[in-house]
Chains A and B, each alone.
Chain A
Amino acid sequence: MGSKRISLLWSYIAEGPLFRYLLIMPAAAFMALLILYPVLKGIYTSFHYVNLAQPWRGTPFVGLANYTALMKDPDFWLSFKNSILYTLGAVASQFLVGFGAALVLNRHFRGRGVVRGIVLLPWVMPGVLAALMWSWMYNAQVGVINDILLRLHLINKPIAWLANPDTAMLAVIGVAMWKGFPFFTVMLLAGLQSIPQELYEAASIDGASAWQRFRYITLPLMKEIILITTTLRIIGAFNYADLVYVLTEGGPAKATLTLPVFSFLKAYQYFDFGYSAAISVIMMLVLFAFTLLYIQLMAVHKE
Chain B
Amino acid sequence: MKIQRIWRAVWLNLLFALLIVVIIFYALSPFIWTVISSIKPLNELWTPTVQYWPRHPTLENYRDLLKQTPFGLYFRNSTIVATLTTLVSVIVATMAAYSLSRFKGRFSTSFLLFMIFFRMFPTVLMIIPIFLIMKALHLLDTYAALVVAYTTFSIPFCIWMLKGYFDSIPYELEEAARVDGCTRGGALLRIVVPLSAPGIAATAIYTFIGAWNELLFAVMLTHSTHMRTLPVGLKLFIGEYTIEWGMLTAGGVLTSIPVAIGFMFLQRYLVQGLTAGGIKA
Q: Is B267 part of the binding interface, using a Cβ–Cβ cutoff of 8 Å?
A: yes
Interface residues on A, range: 35 or more
A-binding segment of B2-10, B62-70, B231-239: B231-239
Closest residue of A by beta carbon distance from B249:
A136
Within 8 Å by CB of B238, from A132, A239, A288, lies A132
Q: Beyond A38-B130, A276-B124, A291-B120, is A11–B30 a contact (Cβ under 8 Å)? A: no
A27 x B155 contact (CB < 8 A): yes
Chain B residues near A104 (CB-CB < 8 A): 16, 19-20, 23
Chain B residues near A215 (CB-CB < 8 A): none
CA distance A115 to B26 in the complex (A): 12
CA distance A186 to B231 in the complex (A): 26
Q: What's the minimum C-beta distance from B200 to chain A, rounded to whole angstroms?
A: 15
B-binding segment of A60-68, A122-130, A196-204: A122-130
Q: Beyond A42-B129, A128-B231, A228-B279, is A27–B92 a contact (Cβ under 8 Å)? A: yes
Q: Is A161 part of the binding interface, using a Cβ–Cβ cutoff of 8 Å?
A: no
Q: Is A190 part of the binding interface, using a Cβ–Cβ cutoff of 8 Å?
A: yes
Chain A residues near B248 (CB-CB < 8 A): 132, 136
CB neighbors of B among A104-119 (8 A): 104-105, 107, 109, 113, 115-119
Q: What's the minimum C-beta distance from B31 to chain A, rounded to whole angstroms?
A: 7
CA distance A135 to B252 in the complex (A): 12
Within 8 Å by CB of A263, from B26, B124, B183, lies B124
CA distance A263 to B216 in the complex (A): 12
A260 x B122 contact (CB < 8 A): yes
B30 x A24 contact (CB < 8 A): no
Closest residue of A by beta carbon distance from B118:
A35
Q: Which interface residue of B128, B131, B186 has the most chain A CB atoms within 10 A?
A: B128
Q: Which interface residue of B27, B115, B119, B255 has the most chain A CB atoms within 10 A?
A: B27
Q: What's the minimum C-beta distance from A249 to chain B, rounded to whole angstroms?
A: 9
CA distance A22 to B236 in the complex (A): 44
CA distance A135 to B239 in the complex (A): 12
B30 x A178 contact (CB < 8 A): yes
Main secondary structure of the interface of B (DSSP, over half): helix
Q: What's the minimum C-beta distance from B182 to chain A, rounded to whole angstroms?
A: 9
Main secondary structure of the interface of A (DSSP, over half): helix
Q: Is A298 part of the binding interface, using a Cβ–Cβ cutoff of 8 Å?
A: no
Chain A residues near B111 (CB-CB < 8 A): 24, 28
B275 x A137 contact (CB < 8 A): no
B184 x A14 contact (CB < 8 A): yes
CB neighbors of B among A46-87 (8 A): none
Chain A residues near B20 (CB-CB < 8 A): 104-105, 109, 115
Q: Beyond A20-B103, A128-B234, is A268–B219 a contact (Cβ under 8 Å)? A: yes
Q: Is B81 part of the binding interface, using a Cβ–Cβ cutoff of 8 Å?
A: no
Q: Is A155 part of the binding interface, using a Cβ–Cβ cutoff of 8 Å?
A: no
Chain A residues near B183 (CB-CB < 8 A): 10-11, 14-15
B274 x A142 contact (CB < 8 A): no
A118 x B121 contact (CB < 8 A): no
B128 x A276 contact (CB < 8 A): yes
CA distance A273 to B99 in the complex (A): 38
Chain B residues near A20 (CB-CB < 8 A): 99, 102-103
Q: Is B179 part of the binding interface, using a Cβ–Cβ cutoff of 8 Å?
A: no
Q: Beyond A133-B34, A136-B33, A136-B245, is A119–B274 a contact (Cβ under 8 Å)? A: no
Closest residue of A by beta carbon distance from B262:
A124
Closest residue of A by beta carbon distance from B120:
A287
Q: Is B73 part of the binding interface, using a Cβ–Cβ cutoff of 8 Å?
A: no
B99 x A24 contact (CB < 8 A): yes
A129 x B92 contact (CB < 8 A): no
A118 x B215 contact (CB < 8 A): no
Q: Is A159 part of the binding interface, using a Cβ–Cβ cutoff of 8 Å?
A: no
Q: What's the minimum C-beta distance from A24 to chain B, rounded to whole angstroms?
A: 4
CA distance A279 to B125 in the complex (A): 8
Interface string of B107-141 (1 = CB under 8 A from A): 10001001100111111111111111100000000
Within 8 Å by CB of B24, from A97, A119, A131, lies A119
Chain B residues near A246 (CB-CB < 8 A): 215, 234-235, 238
Q: Report which A residues bind B (CB closer than 8 A).
A: 10-11, 13-15, 19-21, 23-24, 26-28, 30-31, 34-35, 37-39, 41-42, 45, 97, 101, 104-105, 107, 109, 113, 115-122, 124-137, 139, 141-144, 147, 178, 182-183, 186-187, 190, 225, 228-229, 232, 235, 238-239, 241-242, 245-246, 260, 263-264, 267-268, 273, 276-277, 279-281, 283-284, 287-288, 291
Known: A121-B28, A126-B215. 10 other contacts (CB 8 A): A19-B185, A21-B99, A31-B156, A34-B149, A35-B118, A42-B126, A45-B129, A119-B23, A129-B255, A178-B26
Give 9 CB contacts A-B under 8 Å. A24-B100, A41-B129, A104-B19, A113-B268, A122-B30, A124-B259, A126-B213, A131-B238, A136-B34
